[in-house]
Amino acid sequence: MNFQEAAAAWKAHVPMHEQKGVYLSGVTSYIPDGVKADISLAMDAVQPALATDPNSAIPAFLTTMVDPQVFHILFSPNKGAQIFGENRKGGWLDETAMFPVVEHTGEVSSYGDYAENGRAGANTNWPQRQAYLFQTVKEYGDREIERAGLARIGWVAEIDTAAATILDKFMNLTYHFGVAGLQNYGLLNDPNLSASLTPATKAAGGVKWINNGAIVATANEIYADVQAIYLQLVTQTAGLIQQDTPMVLAMSPSSEVALTATNSFGISVYDLLKKNFPNLRVESDVLYGSQSAANPQGNAAGNLVQLIAESVDGQDTGYCSFNEKMRTHPIVRQLSSFRQKVTAGSWGAIIRMPAAIASMVGV
């Protein structure tokens, strides 16, 4: 069959193919016999060996999408200033601070027209605290900045945020534990604080509120422990603290979960606290939690609960204090990079009235 015959045969068969649903646009003929037998026309059959590595793909980066929304790793919140308040005292040149304390003294005697007995006076003390200055250094290179820019990451802004974060995290740590080797103490380890109470033994055994991830103390038992801390506070202050005194109940986040426990009447520990201490606020802080691999800066003695009267007779119990929150030094231009030092300073927690704080450990 020559080319003309092959074309005629195809033309005759087109209606049959279309009836069966086969449409071959552009085809005008069957392959003539002479062409079918000529193997030299099958070019793929005589391909020479490749000079390059065989590959049918494209570079992987062409099919890789980078999400423009940058997510940041989260850290536990800094709660020291929120629990105890925060004030600036002095500046970064000050190394020692004195906090004067005046105690009124005196005595009376029986009246007599010519008697000169009795005396009124005052005694002063000057407790001191030492500041601790700390720093971090920001560094970023010219190429480093531009390479991060290719991924739509503002590298300089991220380094700035990292510096502010690390300074604030350490500042919060000093608010809780002070600085070893200095007269710089924290809210949890000031030597003037009274010793922590031990929780009462629970019906389920032990003294804990939560054990192995479950609340094991009853609502009434948990509330009784808080009552014991409040009683200690009243005793320490000789009745200066009342039920309506503004107070802070600070504890770990896991201990706070125990406050949701309810008694047989469906009343939770929260409800009991709100009813009996109308000006009490509850704050959770991971540094009040038990020391563990996940919380290496926690309390070695176990979960701690602290009850703090915010003020007594018009005077603040204390506050967290810094002398420099964040001081940025000049940006230094290197050959192909930048460096900048950032400084902060802390006095720790200045506790003016240790008797206005009571605690319990091991809940």
**pLDDT over 90 (residue 69):** no
In tens, the pLDDT along 115-167 reads 999 999 999 999 999 999 999 999 999 999 999 999 999 999 999 999 999 99
Q: Which of 241, 198, 242, 243 is nearest to 356 (CA)?
A: 241
Residue 307's domain is classified under what CATH number?
3.30.2320.10
Q: What is the pLDDT of residue 287?
A: 96
Residues in the chain: 363
Average pLDDT over residues 213-232: 96
The domain in which residue 223 lies consists of 80-361
In tens, the pLDDT along 153-192 reads 999 999 999 999 999 999 999 999 999 999 999 999 999 9
Q: What is the pLDDT of residue 75?
A: 85
| Block residue for tokens 């018009």 | 314
Does one domain contain both 111 and 171? yes
Does one domain contain both 263 and 356? yes
Please tell me the distance from the alpha carbon of residue 363 to that of residue 356, in angstroms, as a whole number: 21
Does one domain contain both 24 and 125? no
Does one domain contain both 87 and 128? yes
3-state secondary structure labels for all residues of the chain:
CCHHHHHHHHHHHHHHHHHCCCCCCCCCCCCCHHHHHCHHHCHHHHCCCCCCCCCCCCCHHHHCCCCCCCCCCCCCCCCHHHHHCEEECCCCCCCEEECCEEEEEEECCCCCCCCCCCEEEEEEECCEEECEEEEEEEEEEHHHHHHHHHCCCCHHHHHHHHHHHHHHHHHHHHHHHCCCCCCCCCCCCCCCCCCCECCCCCCCCCCCCEECCEECCCHHHHHHHHHHHHHHHHHHCCCCCCCCCCEEEEECHHHHHHHHCECCCCCEHHHHHHHHCCCEEEEECHHHCECCCCCCCCECCCCEEEEEECEECCEECEEEEEEEEEEECCCEECCCEEEEEEEEEEEEEEECCHHHEEEEECC
Q: Kindly state whether residue 67 falls inside one of the protein's structural domains.
A: no
pTM: 0.82
Q: How confident is the model at residue 114 (pLDDT cuts 50, 70, 90)?
A: very high
**Distances from the Cα of 265 to the Cαs of 183, 218, 258, in angstroms?**
49, 12, 17
Q: Kindly state whether residue 63 falls inside one of the protein's structural domains.
A: no
Does one domain contain both 250 and 161? yes
| Block residue for tokens 């646009």 | 25
Q: Kindly state whether residue 357 falls inside one of the protein's structural domains.
A: yes
Query: Between 219-236 and 269-276, two packed helices, what is the crossing angle to 10 degrees?
Result: 30
**pLDDT over 60 (residue 46):** no
Does one domain contain both 35 and 174? no
Q: Kindly state whether residue 74 falls inside one of the protein's structural domains.
A: no
Does one domain contain both 233 and 189? yes
**pLDDT over 70 (residue 40):** no
In tens, the pLDDT along 286-344 reads 999 999 998 998 888 999 999 999 999 999 999 999 999 999 999 999 999 999 999 99
Please tell me the distance from the alpha carbon of residue 198 to that of residue 127, in angstroms, as a whole number: 30
**How far does CA 9 lie from the centroid of its chain?**
82
Please tell me the distance from the alpha carbon of residue 363 to that of residue 345, in angstroms, as a whole number: 34
Does one domain contain both 36 and 90? no
Please tell me the distance from the alpha carbon of residue 144 to that of residue 336, in angstroms, as a whole number: 10
Q: What is the pLDDT of residue 225?
A: 98
Q: Kindly state whether residue 71 falls inside one of the protein's structural domains.
A: no
Q: Evaluate whether 5 touches 34 at the Cβ level (below 8 Å).
A: no
Read off φ and ψ for residue 184, nearest 5 degrees.
-145, 105
* Pairing between β-strand 280-284 and β-strand 247-251 as defined by DSSP bridges: parallel
Q: Kindly state whether residue 300 falls inside one of the protein's structural domains.
A: yes
**pLDDT over 60 (residue 45):** no
Q: Kindly state whether residue 75 falls inside one of the protein's structural domains.
A: no
% of the chain surpassing 90 pLDDT: 75
Q: What is the pLDDT of residue 351?
A: 97
Does one domain contain both 167 and 275? yes
Q: Kindly state whether residue 314 falls inside one of the protein's structural domains.
A: yes
Please tell me the distance from the alpha carbon of residue 32 to that of residue 34, in angstroms, as a whole number: 6
End-to-end CA distance of the chain, in Å? 100
Does one domain contain both 143 and 224? yes
Please tell me the distance from the alpha carbon of residue 160 to that of residue 174, in angstroms, as a whole number: 22
Does one domain contain both 38 and 124? no
Q: How confident is the model at residue 22 (pLDDT cuts 50, 70, 90)?
A: confident
Does one domain contain both 151 and 24? no
216 compared with 6, residue with greater pLDDT: 216
Total domains, the chain = 2
Q: Dig out the tokens for 136 from the structure.
A: 């971090």
**pLDDT over 70 (residue 37):** no
